[in-house]
Chains A and B, each alone.
Chain A
Amino acid sequence: MSADTFFFVGASGLILGGLYALMATGLAVVWTTLGVFNFAHGAFLALGAYVAWQVSDGSGGPATFLLAACVSAAVLFCLGYVSHFALVKPFERKKNMVLLSVITTLAAAAIIENAILLIWGPRDKQVPAAVEGSFELFGSALRYQDILALVTALAALVVLATFLRRTATGRSMRAVAQNREAAELMGLRTSHLFALTIGISTAMAALAGVFIGSLRFMNPSFGADPLMKSLIVVILGGVARFTSPIAAAFVVGLAEAFSTFFLGLYWSPAVLFGMMIAVLVVKPEGLFSRRTKTL
C-alpha cells in the first residue's frame, strides 16, 4: 500500500468520522439525558437532508448552502422539540420505558420515512454542494465539500460542548441528565429541558444529513445506514464523557475506510459489527468510558 493511497483512505476515514461524530453525539446526548435510544435519529437525518434539498432548490453556492443548512437545522430542532411530548413524555415514569420509547421512535421513523416518500418521491437526489471542485494534497484529490463537512462537524461539536459547559441552559441540561429529581427540586423545567435536548440532537442530525446528502445520493430510507453506524459508535465509545463518542466516531470512520479498501464494500459492515459485539462482550461500558453515566 503506497503512502498516497494510505493518505487518501485515511482522509476519507476522517471525514466519515467527523459526520459520525456529529450524529453519534446527538444520539449520546439524548441517551444520557433521557435514557432513551432514539431510533428515529436516522429518519430525522434524512428529513433534514430533504428539507435542505427543498430550500436550496437546485442551486449551489456557499450562501444557498448556508441558508439550506440553517433552515434544515431549525425545522428539525422544532420537530425534535415537539416529538419529545409525543414519543417519550407519555410514559417517562414507566418501568419499561426503554422498550416503549424504542417502539415509539421506531414507529416515528416509519412515519417520517413514508412521509418523505409521499412528499419527495422515491428518486435519488443530491443536495447541491457549497463549494464545487477539489484540490490535490499528497497526491490524492480531496473535495472542498469533504473538508467543509469535517470542519463544520468539528465546529458544531465545539459549539455544543461550549454550550453545555458555559451557558445556564446547557448546565441545566447536564444537571437534569445527572440527577433528575434534584434538578426538579431546584426548579428546573425538566420536560422543557428534555425536549430541548431532543431538539438539539435532531438539529445535529439534520446538519449531518445535509452534508451526507451533499456528498452522496439520498433516498427516503438513506438514514438507516448512518443510524447503524452511529449506534456502533455509541456502543464502541460509551457515553461517559462528551468526547468518548467523538473519539469512537473517528475509530469507526477509519476502520470503515480501511476495511472497505482491503476487504470490499460488503464486508466492512461485518467488521464493524464484529468490533461492536466484541466490545460489548469484553467491555460493555465502551472503549473510552468508565462505568458511569453522565454527560
Chain B
Amino acid sequence: MKYDPPFHHTNGFWPIILVLAGLIALPWMQTDTYVRHVLILALVYAVVASNWDLSLGYGGIVNFAHLAFFAIGLYTYGISAKILGVDPWLAIILGAAVALIFAALLSIPILRLEGVYIILVTVAATQLLARIIVSQSDFTGGTSGMVLLPRLTIGDFKLSSNGRIGYYYCALALLVASTAFLYGIERSAIGRAIKALHDNKYYAISRGVSEARIRLYTLCLSAIFPALAGGFYGSYVRVASPDVFGLGFLTIILSILLVGGIATIWGSLIAAFAVTIFTEALADFGAWRDIAVAVVIIAVVVVYPGGLHAVLQECWGAFDRIKCGAIARFRRHWQAERRAMLCGAPDRLVETSFGRISVFDHGAGAQAIVMLHGNSSCKEAFYRQYAVFCQRYRVVSFDYPGHGVSPNGNPETAYALDAFARILGELVVKLDLGRPIVFGWSLGGYVALEYAARGYPLSGLAICGTSPIGKFPDDMPRAYIPTPSMELTAKRFHSPYEKNQYALHTAGTDPAIDPMIRAAVWRTDGQAREQFFNRLKTIDWPRQMRVLCESEVPFAMLNGRKDPFVNNDYCKTLPYANIWRGAPYDFAEGDHAPFLSCPEAFNTAFGEFVDGVTAHGGRFA
C-alpha cells in the first residue's frame, strides 16, 4: 500500500496556486512585448524540458531524441499549415500525432538496448531526421528553413495582437496542461512502473512490470507535449529552421533540466524561467552566451547534481527546522503554566550529552516510573496517568530532542532510538532514579526495549503500541498492519492535513483529549522522524528480543484492540519469558494510545502491573 495524498493535501498546493495566479497576472504588469516574448519562450522551454524528465529523469531512459519530438511538431505545423493549408490549430494537434508515431518507431530499436547504446541510437535517429528534413528542401526549405508560417487566430482575434497576449495565455495553458498531465502520469500505475524499472529493474520485472511495454509508453507519453509545444512555437515565431537540431538548442533545454534537477517536474519549471532569462540577458554576447550555458551545465553536474530543486528542498528544510525550534522555545516559555496545570507540576530543562532535555519529575515514593512518549508526541501525552501515579510513585517523563518543548537536537547524533535510550540512562543517574519501571508508548516502547537491552538499571518494563521486532526489516510487515498513514511516521515534511491525520491516528479521535498533545506534531522536528527511521537498521534488534524472551525482567504489554498500526495477533505469538498475566493484555476499547482513550482501564491495569513488580517481586511466569 502506497501513501499518495491528493494534490490539495500536499505542501505544494498553495505555492503552486500562488505561482499560477502570479503567472496569470504577470502580462498585466509587464506590457513590454520583449518581456512577454521571453516569458513565452520560457513557458515553451518549460514544457519541453519537464516532459524530457519523464524519460530521462523518472524512467532513466537516456533519450537524446527528445528534441526531435519538438522538431517534428514544428515541421509538421509548418508543412501542414503552410503547404497543405490545414487549419493551424489542427496542425498543432497533427504534430503530436506524428511525434507519437515517431516515438513508437524509435522505441523499437531501443527496447533491447541499455545505457550508452540508447544514447547512440537516439542521437543517430535525431541526426537522421535532421538530414532527411534538410534534404527535402522543396517542402522544408532546406538549411534555411521555412518562414512566414501561419499565425494562430481565434475567430478574428489574432493571438499576436495586443502585445502577444493571446500567445502568452496559450503558452501558459499549454504548460498547465502539460504539468497536470505529467503529475497525473507520475502518480498513475504507469508512472510507478516507470520509476520502479529505474530504481530496481529486475525486481520490477519479477513483479510483472513489462520493461518493453513501459519503455514504449514512456517514450510515447513524453512525445506528446513537446510536439504540441513545437507546433505552438512554429505558430509563434513563424519560422521552422533546422537550428532546433543544433547543439545550441540542445544545451539550453539540457541546462534547464539539469539546473532544475533531474526527476522532478517542478524543478525544470523554475529553471526554465531562470535559464531563459539568463540566456536572453546574454543574447548580445553571441558565442560567449553558449559557452556560459555549457559551463553552467558542467558546474551543476559536477558540483551540485541536485539542481535548483535540491536547493529549494534544503532551504525549506532549514526554514522548517528554525520554525519548529521557535515553536518549541515559545511553548517552553509561554505555555509553562498550562503544562504545569495539566500535569500537576512544572517541567525543567536538564543538561545531557545530547543537549538540553525538558523533564517532568513529580510525585512521592521511592519507586520511580519513567514514561516514554511516541514519535512526534510529547511528555504531556501521559497527563491522565500523572494524577493517579504521582500519589504513590515518583513519575518521570521527558521530551526527546526535537520533540515537545525540548530544543532541537543534532540531527547526526541525537535523532536515533539508541540516542533516546542513552538519554534516559543519563537521566536515571542524574536524577537518581534507582531502578525505575520503564513504560514506553509506540516509539517510546522501542526506546524502553533498547534501554533494557543496553543493560541499564531496571525493575520492570511495559510497552504499548509497540510490536517487538526480532529481525529488521523482515518482521516489520508482520508486526504492523500496512496502512497508508504508516508512511507519515518517517516523512520529514508533513502538510497541515497530514499533521492532523497523524495526530488523530496516534493520539486518538476523542475530542476531550487536551489539544496540546495533538499540537505536538506541529512542533516536532521533521528530521527527527526521518533520521530515527533511517537509523532503525543500525539497531541491534535480536538483543531487544532476547530481553523479552530470555531475561527475567518483569514485562507487560498493554495494547489497544483497535490499534490502527500494531498487529496484535503477531504480538501474541512471541515466547515472552516473564510477562504479566501470561500474555499480552488488550484493552477492548483502546486504540493506539489506550492511556488516553480509556484511561481508567489503563490506569487499573498498569497499576496492577506496578504493584506486581514492587510488592510481589515481579515473578509472573
Contacts and interface: CB of A to CB of B under 8 A. Distances in A.
Interface of A: 31, 35, 37, 86-87, 90-91, 96, 98-100, 102-104, 106-111, 113-115, 117-118, 221, 224, 228, 231-232, 234-235, 266-267, 269-270, 273-274, 276-277, 280-281, 284
A231 B122 CA distance: 12
Contacts of A99: 56, 62, 119
Contacts of A86: 298, 302
Contacts of B64: 102
A284 B113 contact: yes
B135 A266 contact: yes
Interface string B244-255: 000110110010
Given A37-B116, A269-B127, A273-B124, A104 B302 contact: yes
Contact of A113 (B134, B247, B288): B247
8 contacts: A87-B298, A91-B302, A100-B301, A106-B251, A117-B287, A235-B124, A273-B124, A277-B124
B120 A106 contact: no
A269 B131 contact: yes
B293 interface: yes
Nearest to A224: B247
Contacts of A235: 117, 120, 124
B473 interface: no
A231 B294 contact: no
A83 to B, nearest CB: 10
B117 A228 contact: no
Contacts of A87: 298
Given A103-B254, A281-B108, A111 B124 contact: no
Contact of A110 (B62, B290, B302): B290
A267 B136 CA distance: 10
Interface string B94-135: 000000000000001100110111011101110110011011
Contact of A280 (B113, B131, B286, B297): B113
What 8 A-B pairs are tightest by C-beta distance, nearest first?
A: A266-B135, A114-B287, A107-B294, A110-B294, A273-B128, A107-B297, A90-B302, A269-B131
Contacts, number: 117
A213 B420 CA distance: 71
A231 B125 CA distance: 12
B301 A110 contact: no
Given A37-B119, A111-B294, A284-B117, A270 B247 contact: no
B348 to A, nearest CB: 49
A150 B112 CA distance: 37
B306 interface: no
Given A110-B248, A113-B247, A114-B290, A281 B109 contact: yes
Contact of A267 (B135, B287, B288): B135
Interface string B296-322: 011001100100000000000000000
Contacts of B287: 114-115, 117-118
Contact of A106 (B117, B247, B288, B291): B247
B60 interface: yes
A110 B134 contact: no
Interface in B245-289: 247-248, 250-251, 254, 258, 286-288
A270 B128 contact: yes
B121 A280 contact: yes
B16 interface: no
Contact of B115 (A98, A107, A274): A98
B245 to A, nearest CB: 10
A217 B340 CA distance: 88
A33 to B, nearest CB: 14
B35 interface: no
B388 interface: no
Given A109-B247, A281-B109, 16 more contacts: A91-B302, A91-B305, A98-B119, A100-B305, A102-B64, A106-B247, A107-B251, A228-B127, A232-B124, A266-B134, A270-B131, A273-B124, A277-B121, A277-B125, A284-B112, A284-B117
Contacts of B341: none
Nearest to B62: A99
Contacts of B251: 106-107, 110
A107 B124 contact: no
B128 A37 contact: no
B295 interface: yes
A113 B248 CA distance: 10
Given A102-B62, A280-B113, A281-B108, A114 B127 contact: no
B62 A98 contact: yes
A110 B297 CA distance: 11
Contacts of B56: 99
Contacts of B297: 103-104, 106-107
Nearest to A231: B120
B128 A269 contact: yes
A114 B251 CA distance: 12
A107 B302 CA distance: 12
Contacts of B60: 96
A228 B129 CA distance: 13
A113 B301 CA distance: 20
A86 B301 CA distance: 11
A266 B138 CA distance: 13
| Best-buried of A91, A103, A228 by chain B (most CB within 10 Å) | A103
B252 to A, nearest CB: 10
Given A98-B115, A267-B135, A284-B113, A231 B123 contact: yes
A114 B288 contact: yes
Given A98-B62, A102-B119, A280 B294 contact: no
A70 to B, nearest CB: 28
Nearest to B287: A114
A231 B124 contact: yes
A40 to B, nearest CB: 10
Contacts of B123: 228, 231
Given A231-B123, A284-B117, A277 B290 contact: no
A90 to B, nearest CB: 4
Contact of A228 (B124, B290, B301): B124
Contacts of A111: 290-291, 294-295
B298 A108 contact: yes
A118 B115 contact: no
Contact of A103 (B109, B132, B258, B288): B258
Contacts of A102: 62, 64, 116, 119
